Amino acid sequence: MGGHHVNKLKHVCITTALAAGLLGTAGPAGAAPAPKPCKPELLLLTSLTVGDGYANGEVLGFGAGDLSVGSSEGRPVFWEGVKVTAVPLPAGWAAGRVNAVNAGGLMVGTLTRNNGSEAVAFTYRKGDAAVTLLSAAGDNSWGADVNDAGYVVGTAAGTATVWRNGRVVRRLPVPADAHAATKVGAAGINKRGDIVGTATTYYWDEAGDYPVGNSFPVVWPAGGYDPYSLLVENQTDYTIGNRATDIDAAGRVVGFEDLDLKAWYRTTAQVWKKPYDALPTLPGKLPGHEDGELYAISPTTNVSVGSAMTYEEGYPQQLKPQYWPGSGPMLTLPLPDADATGRAKAVSDDDRVGGTVIDHDHLVGESAAVWTCASRQAYAL
């Protein structure tokens, strides 16, 4: 584990009254079958911190069983249950993270140099002696996601790219209706092979007097068909951007709109649905919070997760994980105490949510976290 030692196991179990009811005795004959046994917990995962120092980590994806992936102390890692294992770093690469893992255990992520000036996409499988680098360092590439067929998506040399078995198999085209200055990057891929990403355009008007900017989600359908440019409100204001973060098996796309204008910030969660002929729907805000984002959607169960926040003097405050079941109000997930904050970054079909918990009260840092049986823990504010 590169000379690092895991810190002491931290394990917080949070069981709601609702969960207790669901786990109670069976009903009378003829009643609906009892739900699958489940133990709702908030697991704070071990980190690569030497000794019991300040932790820093986040869960970014889920594999089969109790496998989860992400980062700890700035390094790419995976967890089995709560036990952390570092991904071996090649010489010259000091940091990174694992962004996703498929059902077969193939992980994909990004490595960065000490100086942060270069990045490279990689794949790795538990037990491998080394990672597989997907491009040259000069390509400045990122590995974003992988599906169960082994197709890896990300960005290399400024364009959305698909790899398989360690080789580039496709460079994804810019939509035909986009401006000539548009660049595209990939963010996610679903089981059938539909890919989602973000197109970004920035140029000066014809007179050279002011900048014009626009960003919008793009979906590249499986089978190599022409990409869709998804609709957004903003078309020309460079201070407003739209980012796609994930796509599910039904083609639902999640993400958010960002406004960044000097000291004025706004983040709004958004969802786009097939046939991609309408503006995004807005799932709403977590009560008591002015802003929010959606970062991931489950493969088939239409559950999205992200973070709720309110900006104060340009910084996000009052961070809470948010959980949206696909309809109804935005919900949140429990935290260890009233002073803790957190973010949700990953969600699985088997009802796990991953992210990070920041324990301000005990000053233990940002712990990688997993909420098990999350639907039974989610609640309205």
Residue 2 has pLDDT above 80, yes or no: no
Q: What tens digit of pLDDT does each residue of 288-300 get?
A: 999 999 999 999 9
pLDDT at residue 49 tops 80? no
**310-355 residue pLDDT tens:** 988 777 788 999 999 999 999 999 999 888 999 999 999 999 999 9
Burial of 89 from C-beta contacts in 10 A (0-12 / 13-18 / 19+):
middle
Query: Mean pLDDT of all residues in the chain?
Result: 86
Per-residue pLDDT at 114: 67
CA distance 124 to 132: 6
Task: Tell me the three state secondary structure of residue 267.
Answer: strand
- At 254, the amino acid letter reads V
| 185: number of Cβ within 10 Å | 22
pLDDT tens-digit series, residues 180-226: 889 999 999 999 999 999 999 887 877 777 787 789 999 999 999 99
* Letter string b/e over residues 51-85, b meaning 16 or more CB atoms within 10 A of that residue's CB: eeeebbbbbbbbbeebbbbbbbbebbbbbeebebe
Find the range with the poorest average confidence among 5-14, 199-208, 268-277: 5-14
- Tell me: the pLDDT tens digits for 185-196? 999 999 999 999
Cα(203)–Cα(185) distance, rounded to whole angstroms? 18
Confidence of residue 362 (pLDDT cuts 50, 70, 90): low
Question: Which of 5-19, 101-115, 195-209, 278-292 has the lowest average pLDDT?
Answer: 5-19
Q: What pLDDT shows up at residue 266?
A: 85
DSSP conformation class of 345: E
Strand partners for 258 = 241, 267
Instruction: Report pLDDT digits (tens) over 16-31.
Output: 333 333 223 333 334 4
pTM equals: 0.87
What token pair was written down for 156?
A: 């290399």
Name the residue with tokens 């729907």: 281
Q: Please, are residues 368 and 321 in contact by the beta-carbon 8 Å criterion?
A: no
The stretch 216-242 carries a mean pLDDT of: 90
Q: In what order do the strands lie in the sheet with 304-312?
A: 291-297, 304-312, 315-324, 331-332
CB atoms within 10 A of CB 277: 10
Give the separation between CA 94 and CA 85, rounded to whole angstroms: 16
Say how many Å lie between the first and final Cα of the chain, rounded. 41
What SS3 class is residue 218?
Answer: strand
The amino acid at 50: V
Question: What confidence tier does 4 reach under pLDDT thresholds 50, 70, 90?
Answer: very low
Q: Which amino acid is at 195?
A: I
The answer to which of 79-93, 181-195, 252-266 has the lowest mean pLDDT is 252-266
